[in-house]
Structure 1
Amino acid sequence: MQLSGFTDLALRIVMRLAVLDDGELASTARLSEELAVSPTHAAKVVTALHKLGVVEARRGRSGGLALATDAGAISVGHVVRSLGDGREVVECEGKNPCPLRGGCRLRSALGRAQEAFYAALDPVTIADVVSSPTGPLLLSLGPTNPR
């Protein structure tokens, strides 16, 4: 299994928001600088996280982004599964359909492996993945800090 760049960035954004001080908000521009990604890409990911109910977006002069719930309540598996592109591990249909698709056992085995991947991430929370040493490293990110 390999995460898409979109899902990877979503996890990094959620992790960065998880280590904000209470009441502190972050802007999409700040997150894009700290995580060294384009502001447009970060905005698309933030929109998806907001629709998923993971990120709260407040508008206005004193607005910004924060987690919608406690980091300990956000499952990494839920985020990965929800933001995944829904593709199977192998493509059996499409432009050049696999000639084995009618009797292949590989597709179902890979489907079970993919579900096992998600299941292994389900009990892992964002709070788990931002514990030390990751949390302090996330706090050190910034446009002037070396990456």
Structure 2
Amino acid sequence: MRLTLFTDYSLRVLLVLATRTESLVTIGDLSRAFDISNAHLMKVTHMLGKSGWVDTVRGRNGGMRLSVHPSKLMVGAIVRRLETDFALVECFAEDNRCVLTGGCELAAVLARAMQAFLDELDRYSLADLASASPALMVLPMWQQVTWHDRIKRPSLEVVPGVADALLSDPATKRASKARSS
């Protein structure tokens, strides 16, 4: 499952706000730091404001800040609220017309996998992610980092291609291991 760009951008915004609690952060600041368009970030900010997680201040000296302590915002709850469609297969959708519905193990397997995914996200708060993300501390932003827990190293270094490797077919891995032995 791939989260939408909207959720990706929202999580990035929330992580920045979690570390810069003493000043307002503007859409322009975030746009420059992440190289994301102002238009996209305006939509993200609007939704985050409506969610109650972010306070927005209009005007010349306006911006946004977290309205909730980062330890109170669980990543699973954020993703559930922001993602509009978890229907990986047709039978999960409201307009399901799959002829296999009710007699197909695929739906059960995917439902358990989705639950495991969300359960894993439920284990972490925004504070947990912020404290394990040293890259947040060096973003090119004028706002000082004002909140962080003890900084930890990320649990896994993710670089381009790592997600593909993590999600690659285990049978293919076993076969290539057997060939190399």
- TM-score w.r.t. length of structure 1: 0.83
Contact 2:9 2:44 in 1 (8 A): yes
Which residue of structure 1 lines up, in the alignment, with residue 175 of structure 2? none
* Greater mean alpha carbon deviation, residues 1-10 or residues 94-103: 94-103
Contact 1:10 1:45 in 2 (8 A): yes
Give CA deviations for 1:77-114 in whole Å, capped at 9, x if unaligned. 11011101223122246999544235223123312321
- TM-score w.r.t. length of structure 2: 0.69
Which residue of structure 2 lines up, in the alignment, with residue 140 of structure 1? 138
Give the unaligned 5+ runs of structure 2: 142-181
Q: Secondary structure at the match of 1:72?
A: helix
Q: Which has the higher contact order (CA 8 A, sep 6+)?
A: 1
Which residue of structure 1 lines up, in the alignment, with residue 43 of structure 2? 44
Which residue of structure 2 lines up, in the alignment, with residue 109 of structure 1? 109
Q: How many Å separate the matches in 2 of 1:103 and 1:123?
A: 33
Which residue of structure 2 lines up, in the alignment, with residue 100 of structure 1? 100
Q: CA RMSD in A?
A: 2.2
Which residue of structure 2 lines up, in the alignment, with residue 2 of structure 1? 2
Give CA deviations for 1:30-53 in whole Å, capped at 9, x if unaligned. 111111111111111111111111
Q: Secondary structure at the match of 2:131?
A: coil
> What is the count of residue pairs matched by the alignment?
140
Letter in 1 for 2:137: L
Give the unaligned 5+ runs of structure 1: none
Q: How many Å separate the matches in 1 of 2:10 and 2:26?
A: 14
* Greater mean alpha carbon deviation, residues 1-10 or residues 71-80: 1-10
Amino-acid identity (%): 38
Q: How many Å separate the matches in 1 of 2:120 and 2:57?
A: 33
Which structure would you say has the larger Rg?
A: 2
Query: Which structure has the highest helix share of the two?
Result: 2
